Amino acid sequence: MNKPGVKDRILQTALPLFAASGFKATGIDRIIAASGVAKASFYRHFPSKDDLVLACLEGWHVSQFAALKMKVEESDDKSRPLAVFEVLAGDNGFRGDLLITALIELGEDKAAVTAMVALARRQMREWFEALLRAADFADMAEVLSHEWLLLYEGAMIATVRAPQEHPARRARAAAERSLQQIQLKRLLSKTLPQ
């Protein structure tokens, strides 16, 4: 098996350190020591800690989003929207969203972090909308996608605070109720006289 390159080794070392200790509490010297790279090599790849944080966040988002999409794609079209919450509820190792953590910890004074979080959230909302359209909820897909993004983010934050309360399961139940209400409204509009 090939040994990861210097840049990958730094990223693979920094990400779990940031996740465990926080972005502010994890210093460059600790990352350099743990990754076993020379200081000059580190700064050649990441001129600043901000550059490293952004690279870690981007890599984390891309890998998490791809893994989530892959798991959800295993479901049929009609059940894919709710499968997003099932994946989140079934991930016992889930410890929260690093993008939200970074935004909270680093503050909105880090414009690049704020922009990355906004991009990631837009991608997630657009994906929710596409899943809902494919599941025969095109008429409500845009509205629901915004609401479901709030449910999803709330579940991620609550999972960090109180995982024993199963917030992802509760978010899934709320999402399912919204679909059931739409289906009931459709049924009633077909059966009741106008």
Domain-located, residue 56:
no
Q: Do residues 119 and 54 lie in contact, with contact meaning Cβ atoms separated by under 8 Å?
A: no
Phi first, then psi, for residue 95 (nearest 5°) are -125, 20
132 closest CA partner among 147, 121, 145: 145
> Strands, E, within the chain: which ranges?
none
In a domain, 55, yes or no: no
Give the predicted TM-score (pTM) of the model: 0.83
In a domain, 77, yes or no: yes
- Identify the domain containing residue 146 by its residue range: 61-191
38 and 87 share a domain? no
pLDDT of residue 170 exceeding 90, the answer is yes
Residues 68 and 164 in one domain: yes
Residue 93 has pLDDT above 80, yes or no: no
pLDDT number for residue 194:
65
Please state, rounded to an integer, the average pLDDT across all residues of the chain: 90
Check whether residue 42 and residue 65 sit in a common domain: no
Task: Please count the structural domains in the chain.
Answer: 2
Is residue 91 over pLDDT 70? no
Q: Do 127 and 36 share a structural domain?
A: no
Residue 53 lies in a domain: no
